[in-house]
Amino acid sequence: MSTNATNWVAEKLVSKEGLQVSGRTQEDFLIVGDESDYTFLVAVLGKKDKIERADVEPLFSGNNKPEFIVNIPSKAIWTGEAINFVHKANAAFGTLSEVSNAYRTGDAGSYREKNMRFYTNAFWQHSNVTDVTFVYETVLKVDRRRGESLIIAIVDAYNMSAEDIRNTRDRVGHFDIALKSTSYGGITSNATSAAESIGAEALMFREVMARLGK
Amino acid sequence: MMRAQIISLLREFMFTLGSVADGTQWYLFGSVDRNEADAADIDLIILCKTDAQADALRRLIDTDAFPLPLHLSFLTFEENAEIGATKLQKSSNISP
């Protein structure tokens, strides 16, 4: 990542997030936090579309290992392989604003985005589920004892529209279920039709949990 | 203060989109609309005449081009009439 982008992130962490940045490592990782209390290393990536395993692997090859990785721009999507690699390295990833959340845990590498943590845990606890893995940062593959595996895309929509379905398809490709991430609001009949037209379903959380057993 | 600034920016931006945005209605909701100091993103519903218009606007709008990340919801007028999204979110119409 260019020093300019790292400088930009450092400035925002101080001015917007109210964090301290006390220095940098030789790898240009930011030392974030209060030196008298808790600090952790933040690496900055600059992938525009997708973050792959090959993009994150080199960050862990030096003497210092990052505990949190920020990509700029934030709308670039993390692939499952990159996420799994980062998590296995006891590190976390997220947006600029999530650096503060990670700091507050006191163990930044263990930080996980709360919505995806909720869905991952909920699916794991289903009696018919044998494995849950990331396909992308908001897409999970759920393996089941009975029935085929299901690709579930979590759609961050208060009201799920047909455009949400098309946009999700454009961003992540095939999925079996589009899960509306909030419990209030609705799914339009056009969204249901748009999902059906690509062989998928548009469902609320409680419907997904029922679907996992069928 | 933040709310007024962001509405002004969104209105200016809407005009720069030209004919692609013709006939759309823009609704602000959430923490920015409530003028909360610690708003994390800008929640915006854009009502469109057609699916094609929604898709075109999704491609054109850079969600990182504003002081806070833009969280966009595109619905057609027909969809909004069905589920009442703008009313449900207690949103404010900011389009002229």
Question: Which chain B residue is nearest to residue A189, measuring alpha carbons?
Answer: B79
Quote the pLDDT of residue A35.
76
Q: Is the pLDDT of residue A23 over 60?
A: yes
Question: Do the Cβ atoms of A162 and B76 come within 8 Å?
Answer: yes
Q: Is the pLDDT of residue A151 over 60?
A: yes
Backbone angles phi, psi at A194, to 5 degrees: -60, -40
Residues belonging to chain B with any Cβ–Cβ distance to chain A shorter than 8 Å = 40, 43, 45, 48, 51, 54-55, 58, 63-64, 69, 71, 73-76, 78-79, 82-83, 85, 88-89
Average pLDDT over residues A167-186: 94
Residues of B within 8 A of A75 (CB-CB) are 63-64
- Strand B70-76 relative to strand B42-48, pairing: parallel
Out of A4-18, A49-63, A105-119, pick the least confident.
A4-18
Local confidence band at A26 (pLDDT 50, 70, 90 cut-offs)? very high
Of B48, B63, B83, the CB nearest to A159: B83
The domain B2-93 belongs to what CATH superfamily?
Answer: Beta Polymerase, domain 2 (3.30.460.10)
Eight-class DSSP state of B19: G
String of DSSP letters for A101-125: HHHHHT-GGG---HHHHHHHHHHHT
Q: Is the pLDDT of residue A1 over 70?
A: no
A197 touches chain B (CB under 8 A): no
Average of per-residue pLDDT values in chain A: 94
Local confidence band at A70 (pLDDT 50, 70, 90 cut-offs)? very high
Q: Helices A96-105 and A3-15, interaxial angle, to 10°? A: 60
Backbone angles phi, psi at A180, to 5 degrees: -75, 125
Quote the pLDDT of residue B43.
95
Question: Do the Cβ atoms of A75 and B79 come within 8 Å?
Answer: no
**Domain spans in chain A, listed from the N-terminal domain onward:** 3-110, 114-211
For residue A150, the SS3 value is strand
- Residue A33, sorted as left (phi over 0), alpha (psi -120 to 50) or beta, turns out to be left
Segment holding B93, helix H or strand E: strand B92-93
For residue A2, the SS3 value is coil
Quote the pLDDT of residue A37.
83
Local confidence band at A178 (pLDDT 50, 70, 90 cut-offs)? very high
Residues of A within 8 A of B66 (CB-CB) are none
Residues of A within 8 A of B64 (CB-CB) are 73-75
User: What long-range pairs does B59-68 form, CB within 8 A, spacing at least 24?
Assistant: B60/B17, B60/B20, B61/B13, B61/B17, B63/A75, B64/A73, B64/A74, B64/A75, B65/B13, B66/B6, B66/B9, B66/B10, B66/B13, B66/B42, B67/B2, B67/B5, B67/B6, B67/B9, B68/B6, B68/B32, B68/B39, B68/B40, B68/B41, B68/B42
Q: Is the pLDDT of residue A113 over 90?
A: yes
**Domain spans in chain B, listed from the N-terminal domain onward:** 2-93
pTM of the model: 0.91
- Strand B92-93 relative to strand A201-203, pairing: unpaired
Residues of A within 8 A of B58 (CB-CB) are 163, 167
Largest CA distance in chain B: 36
Residues β-bridged to residue A139: A136, A153
- CATH assignment of A3-110, given 2.40.10, 1.10.3110, 3.40.1350, 2.60.40? 3.40.1350
Of A95, A162, A166, the CB nearest to B79: A162
Quote the pLDDT of residue A3.
72
Q: Which regions in chain B score pLDDT beneath 70?
A: 1
